[in-house]
Amino acid sequence: MNDKKLLSIAGKFVAESEIKEVSILGEGFINDTFVIYPKDPNRPRYLLQRKNKNIFTNIPAMMENINKVTTYLKKKIRENNGDPERESLTLIPTAEGELYYLDKNDDYWAACLFIKDSISYTKIDSPLIARSGGKGIGKFQKLLADFPGKLTNILPGFHDMKFRFKQWDEVLVEDRVNRKKDVKEEIGWVENRREEMLEFWNLIEKGTIPKRVTHNDTKITNILFDKKGEVLCMIDLDTVLGGPVLNDFGDAVRTYVNTGEEDEHDLSKVSVSLDYYRELTRGYAEEAGAFLTEPEWDNLAFAGRFITFEQVLRFLMDYIDGDRYYRIKYPEHNIIRTHAQYKLLQSMEEHFDEMQKITGQFR
C-alpha cells in the first residue's frame, strides 16, 4: 500500500493535516498494524489496524463488542479512581462517529489510542513476569466480572470441545490427503482423552462453570505494563467473547509454563515449569480470586490440560486435513507442533497433583 493511500485512510480517524507520518508496526500475524505520528509532538500517537476479514467474518459486530467492553471497563476504572485512558484500550471513531472505516476494497480499518510510556514483554523468561501476566489476566476479568451486556459470538465453536470433535470426526472420515494411516498413534492420543475432555465441556454447557467476558488471546504480548512493572491493561481485544474464564487461564498455562517452544523439535526441552505455574497462579488469584466460584477453582489447573489438548487436536487435525488452517513454514510443521504440544500435555498430566496443590495454596 502506498503512503498516500495509507495517509488518506489514517485521515478518516485523525485530521490528515495533523499527521506527520504513518509507519508499519510489527509483522502482523493477523491484522496489519500501523502507528500514526502527529506533527505536534505534544499530541498523542494512534494505532491504526486493517482487520483480517478472512479470520473475523463479522467485523462490525467485533468492533461493537470491543466498544461495549471498553466502555464498561472505563466506567469501572473511574469508579476505582484509575486512569481510563491508560488502564483500558481507547477506540478512536472516524470523523463520522463510526467504530471502523470500510475502504473501496472492502477492507475494515479501526484506530485506537497509543498508550504512552507503556511496555510489553515478548516472552515469559522469569517467574516474576509469569506472575505479572497472571495479574493482567485476572485484573481484566475482575473488572468485567459483573458486565451486564451481551456480546455477539463472532467466533462460533471457539474452544467448544463438542464442535472440535465434530470437525475432527469429519476430517478423519474424509482423509483428504491420505495422511491418516501415518498418524495412527497420534490419533490414539486424541481418542484416549475424548471422554475426559467432553466431561469437562459438559460442566460449561450445564452452567456449573459460568460464562463471563473473556479475552481469548492471553499471550504476554497482549498485556501492557507501566515503567514500574505494574499492570496497565489488556490490549488486542478482537477476540473478546462470552465464555468461561478458565479458557483465558488455561491458554496462559499452555503458553507461560512451557519450558520449550510451541513447535519445539527437541522434545526433551518441553515440560511444565512448576515455578512459573506457581507465580502465574499467584498473580491471577490476587486479582481473580474474589469472584471465582468453587467449580472454577476446582478446575483451574485442569484448564491448562484442556486448552493444551485442544491444540494437540487442532494441529493434528490440520495436518491430516492437508494444512489448510494454520500457516506452516515447512511440510511437517503441524505434526511437529502436535508432538511438542502433546509432550507438554503429558507433562501436565504427570505433574497434575502438584499443580492442584499449588492452586490450593492461593484459594
Would you give the distance in Å from CA 213 to the centre of its chain?
13
Read off the pLDDT of residues 219-270 as tens digits, 9 standing for 90 and up: 998 999 998 888 999 999 999 999 999 999 999 999 999 999 999 999 999 9
- The stretch 86-97 carries a mean pLDDT of 96
Looking at per-residue pLDDT, the higher value among 356 and 29 belongs to 356
Q: Residue 113 and residue 18: Cα distance in Å, rounded? A: 15
193/282 same-domain check: yes
34 phi and psi, to 5 degrees? -135, 160
What pLDDT sits at residue 55? Answer: 83
Residues sharing a CB contact under 8 Å with residue 151, sequence separation 6 or more, in sequence order: 65, 68, 69, 213, 240, 241, 242
Residue 118 lies in a domain: no
d(CA 126, CA 283) in angstroms, rounded, equals: 13
> Could you tell me if residue 122 is inside a domain?
no
- 107: CATH: 3.30.200.20
Question: Which of residues 113, 138, 154 is at a domain's end?
Answer: 113
How far is residue 322's CA from residue 171's CA, in Å, rounded to a whole number?
10
pLDDT at 4 over 90: no
Answer yes or no: is pLDDT of 29 > 60: no
Is residue 352, in this structure, part of any structural domain at all? yes
pLDDT at position 200, please? 97
How far apart are the C-alpha atoms of 131 and 280, rounded to whole Å? 4
The Cβ of residue 283 has, within 10 Å, a number of other Cβ atoms equal to 26
Instruction: Give a yes or no: residue 100 inside a domain.
Output: yes
- pLDDT tens, position by position, 49-70: 999 888 899 999 999 999 999 9
Note whether 255 and 279 are within 8 A (CB): no
Q: Residue 113: pLDDT above 90?
A: yes
Average pLDDT for 303-311: 98
Question: Which of 61, 90, 113 delimits the end of a domain?
Answer: 113
Amino acid 1: pLDDT = 57
Buried b (16+ CB within 10 A) or exposed e, 55-78: ebeebeebbbbbebbbebbbebbe
Q: pLDDT higher for 279 or 5?
A: 279
pLDDT of residue 109: 97
- Whether 213 and 319 share a structural domain: yes
| Closest to 124 measured CA to CA, from 259, 250, 28 | 259
In this predicted model, what pLDDT tens digit does every residue of 272-286 receive, in sequence order?
Answer: 999 999 999 999 999
Residue 121 lies in a domain: no
- Encode pLDDT of 127-155 as tens digits: 999 999 999 999 999 999 999 989 999 99
Residue at 74 is within a domain: yes
Is 244 found in the same domain as 183? yes
Joined together, the cell numbers standing for residue 118 give: 507503556
Are residues 103 and 200 located together in one domain of the fold? Answer: no
Query: Is 33 exposed, middle or buried (CB count within 10 Å of its CB: 0-12, 13-18, 19+)?
Result: middle
Instruction: Please report whether residue 349 resides in a domain.
Output: yes
State how many domains the chain has.
2
Domain extent for 200: 127-361
- DSSP, collapsed to helix, strand or coil, labels residue 243 as strand
What pLDDT score was predicted for residue 187? 98
Q: Please, which pLDDT band fits residue 361 given cuts at 50, 70 and 90?
A: very high
- Residue 296's pLDDT band (cuts 50, 70, 90): very high
User: Tell me, what's the pLDDT at 26?
Assistant: 67
Question: What is the mean pLDDT of the segment spanning 110-122?
Answer: 93
Residue length, the chain? 363
List CB contacts of 24: < 8 A, sequence separation 6 or more: 32, 33, 34, 35
